[in-house]
Amino acid sequence: MRANDSNPRPSVSMGSAIRQAFAMLAAIPVCALLVACAADPLLPYSTETMPLALVPASQAGVVDKRGRFREIYCAVLEARGQALPDYRPCDEALTRLGTEPAGTGKPVDLGPSRRHLVAAVVPGIGYDCFRRWLDSPGTVMTHLRQFGFDAMLLDVDALSSSTNNARQVRDAILAMPVQDGPPRLVLVGYSKGAPDILEALVAYPEIRSRVAAVVSAAGAVGGSPLANDAKQYQADLLRHFPEATCTSGDGGGVESLRPATRMAWLAQHPLPGDLHYYSVVTFPAPERISSILESSYKKLSRVDARNDSQVIFYDEVIPGSSLLGYINADHWALAVPIARTHPTVGALFVTQNAYPREALIEAILRFVEEDLAASIK
């Protein structure tokens, strides 16, 4: 609700409002906002579904490039070290899953970017509702610019559908100045931002020539079972977050996150084959889940315990993409620096929010730049 609305905000204390708002972000719906938790299956029985198969990533056209990405990320972490906040050793920053391919042994170029890639991030559901309160310090952009990279945030509706937001992604890209040479824009979809981007690429072919690559970062590519028993009015409660200025939009945000919606869309809309796709997956150890996210982690574990509190690990991968790595961080820790700007909230609620995000995005862009260069030789 806007500050100048005629209807007053609910009469709750600021601490209670923040707790409820964070609970809302943690899972839609969650026990903190409902009278009781439903015992219904997160993936209910239905014959109104298409044939599906859970297969190894390689059989879905996914290329496992974790070995080289680990080399690059480890080199970045070692070189930047304690100069960046929330430092972790490489083995603690990445999760080893199954048999990880060996690295290439090639040196890692940590010098200035040759292609000057720009990460254009599309955020997840609700972000614009708490963006002002979060007051992000902008350290990612500052860090990347030292090395010839850059980053920006693409504004999309906080609570609207992916179809609506796809148009906003298209409009933002076409409004950018046309650059000489090969495209430099790397679209990074965090959480619901990933399907927003994918829908934009399919619906608006005029933007494809301006895009160098697409990255799913904990993207809800296959949706989330948590959205199955959620209602849009519950997501709309985020409009009451402290300092929120977001609107209800077209009211389709939750529907866009349901697995049936995402799978149906993927089945009916093959992704453009002339683009490079990459997937970065959050796969935290259970002790890396923040306390406020434990309830949604356990709820989603009724389907699969290999989740980041919001999305199951296999639902974060773009079909036909290159798999870069599994990140040892929960859904929020990957991209939302809550504890840095609100240490009290961090100590009480987002207790595992620390993660070296600056080093991660640098490593992603360095990998993409190297991979794109190799593809045109």
Tell whether 41 is covered by a domain: no
Name the packing angle between helices 162-174 and 193-203 (round to 10°).
70
pLDDT per residue over 247-298, tens digit each? 999 999 999 999 999 999 999 999 999 999 999 999 999 999 999 999 999 9
**Containing domain of residue 365, as a range?**
14-36+62-375
**Overall average pLDDT of the 75-81 stretch:** 95
Tell whether 7 is covered by a domain: no
Confidence bin at 82 (pLDDT 50/70/90) = confident
Tell whether 50 is covered by a domain: no
Residue 17 confidence (pLDDT)? 45
pLDDT per residue over 6-31, tens digit each? 333 333 333 444 454 554 454 443 33
What is the full DSSP assignment across 140-159?
HHHHHHTTT-EEEE----SS
Residue 214 confidence (pLDDT)? 98
Nearest CA to 308 among 220, 194, 197, 212? 220
Q: What angle do CA 20, 242, 11 make, to 5 degrees?
A: 65
Residue 22 confidence (pLDDT)? 53
Tell whether 8 is covered by a domain: no
Tell whether 52 is covered by a domain: no
* Number of separate domains in the chain: 1
Nearest CA to 266 among 122, 152, 162, 371? 162
> The domain that contains 326 carries what CATH number?
3.40.50.1820
Tell whether 42 is covered by a domain: no
Helix spans in the chain (H): 14-26, 66-80, 90-93, 127-134, 139-145, 162-174, 193-203, 232-235, 253-257, 259-268, 294-300, 331-335, 338-341, 343-348, 357-375
Cβ neighbors of 148 (< 8 A, separation 6 or more) are 112, 113, 114, 116
Tell whether 150 is covered by a domain: yes
Q: Give dist(CA 280, CA 361) in Å, integer.
A: 10
Confidence bin at 81 (pLDDT 50/70/90) = confident
Q: Give dist(CA 94, CA 181) in Å, integer.
A: 34
